[in-house]
Amino acid sequence: MIRLKGTYEFWRGGELIDGRVIGGRLAYKIENIVCTPVYEYLLKSLVGESPGDVSASYFAFGDDDTPVTEADTTLGNELFRKAFTSKSWNGKQFVAICQLSTDEANFGIKEVGLFSGGSITADTGTLLSHAIKPIEKNSNITYNVIYRLNLEEV
């Protein structure tokens, strides 16, 4: 059996080199809910149906702490969105990265999501992943945010 397991990592400080943070420290690691459109994409592909485009492109951050579900289509209260700095895949893992600088997302982050399609405008596109965790963020903090989606054999 195969399962999808997604994780958000918030690295404070350090430098990004080849998808790894050098010299920083892992501040938060959050397991997520993979939302229904990802499963639909995989299953439709297996039966030859056109699954549509789920090209991931944005991280979104909000301040709502309502429990997440696979059926979520938006964050509870999206306040900031940023395009990926990079994205890649190898074998059984997809990786997306962005950096939150000192002048971005300066509020009490409680939720994070990954979107395909849409634009920089809040609540646009398709929500692929959603997680809840209180994260300290202010103008003195920079984060490298890394999302990893793994195909795991169980």
How does pLDDT run across 105-142, given as a tens digit for each residue?
999 999 999 999 999 999 999 999 999 999 999 999 99
Residue 106 is assigned to a structural domain of this protein: yes
Residue 120 is assigned to a structural domain of this protein: yes
What is the rounded distance in angstroms from the CA atom of residue 59 to the CA atom of residue 99? 10
What is the domain extent for residue 134? Answer: 34-140
Residue 149 is assigned to a structural domain of this protein: no
Residue 118 is assigned to a structural domain of this protein: yes
Residue 84 is assigned to a structural domain of this protein: yes
Residue 127 has a CB neighbour count (10 Å cut-off) of: 24
Q: What is the pLDDT of residues 17-51, one digit of tens each?
A: 565 676 778 888 999 988 888 888 877 878 888 76
Residue 21 is assigned to a structural domain of this protein: no
pTM above 0.95, yes or no: no
Q: What is the pLDDT of residues 77-112, one digit of tens each?
A: 999 999 999 999 888 899 999 999 999 999 999 999
Mean pLDDT of 59-87: 96
Report pLDDT for 18: 60
Contacting residues for 146 by C-beta, under 8 A, at least 6 apart: 8, 9, 11, 19, 21, 95, 96, 97
Residue 8 is assigned to a structural domain of this protein: no
Residue 135 is assigned to a structural domain of this protein: yes
- Asked if 57 and 117 count as a contact pair (C-beta separation under 8 A), the reply is yes
Domains of the chain: total: 1
Query: Which helix (H) or strand (E) is 27 found in, with range?
Result: strand 25-31
